[in-house]
Amino acid sequence: MKSPHLAKRPKAFTLIELLVVIAILAVLMGLLVPAVQKVRDAAARARCSNNIRQIGIAYLQYLDLNGWMPHNGDYRWGGSAIYFSNSWSAFARFLPLIEQESLFKAINFDDGYWNQPEISSRRIPSFVCPSEVNDRGSGYHATFGNQFWPASYGLNNGTWSVLTAKAGAMRTGDGAFGPNRSYRSGEFADGMSNTLALAEVKAYTPRILGSDTTRVFQVAPPVPEKPSDLSALNLGALEPHNLGHAVWAAGQVQETGFTTTFTPNTRTALAPGSSAQEADLVLAMEYQVGDTYAAVTSRSYHSGGVNVLMLDGSARFVQDRISLTTWRALGTRSGGEVVELP
């Protein structure tokens, strides 16, 4: 009879076996984490799409109630300078239709948005993409904490020209929205299902101005075909504090708009000798004397493209590789192009 003290003990893991187990677990984690991330990204993209659908329902209701779309800011010639007839964005005009009626009623549209931080500082959930990494306010205010809050969506201001000939005709662009003009459904000759209403943008995108914001072009500058074409323009300095898409209340292309100059998520090198980065160009702001031409690009934190909304209220996901010709055609309200999203 064997002594119980001499019973064979279970064999322990060797170091090699332990390392093999750890390696297998690492491989499994490497497979699992990307899968979980893809599910999270898909969920965020779906919630973002729901946001823009809500906005679409709002402006279509606005169209039914008023007979025209809301305009994005109102600028007038004052003899030697531009003055704001109404500085508020189109987003502000349909607040009652996204369950923000009390906020809308508190707005004094005869005064600037910058003088009403109790409004402009508010975060509007429908205006912020769930994937937006800069979901924060800007500008200090003793009472409200900040003065402004950004939007993750921009209204379609057309291809390149936004507001020109400011001392005379006040010509607007070829998009669905813009300053001064409120378009009726009959003006969308390309069809509302074939025209972009809005697309995603990134909050606090770096922005550069032209070196001379009083310049009025006798001959319109050609639409840039690629980012390197911007080097032919006289650009100002790229300043770290000059950021766009920071104020949902502001009726300006750099804040609540985009143009189809470049396809989604295009990177540009706006500063001499700089590497390509996410940055936008506005040659002159709408409230400045010079002509407003803008390359304000649609961008998102979703992999491979951006969520967009067509004027008929349908939400789509547009891939970065969409052709520039198709993208620009979708941006015009009456260009006569025959085009469909792939």
Phi, psi (rounded to 5 degrees) for 143: -90, -45
Instruction: For residue 167, give every residue at least 6 positions away whose Cβ sits within 8 Å of its Cβ, in sequence order, or none.
Output: 77, 216, 289
pLDDT string in tens for the chain (342-residue length): 455 555 555 556 677 777 777 888 877 777 766 655 566 777 888 999 999 999 999 999 999 999 999 999 999 999 999 988 889 999 999 999 999 999 999 999 999 999 999 999 999 999 999 999 999 999 989 999 999 999 999 999 999 999 999 999 999 999 999 999 999 999 999 999 999 999 999 999 999 999 999 999 999 999 999 998 988 888 888 877 889 999 999 999 999 999 999 999 999 876 555 566 889 999 999 999 999 999 999 999 999 999 999 999 999 999 999 999 999 999 999 999 877 776
Dihedral sign of CA atoms 64, 71, 259, 337 in order: positive
Entry pTM = 0.87
For residue 298, the model assigns a pLDDT of: 98
Question: Do 298 and 339 meet the contact criterion of CB atoms below 8 Å apart?
Answer: no
Phi, psi (rounded to 5 degrees) for 244: -105, 175
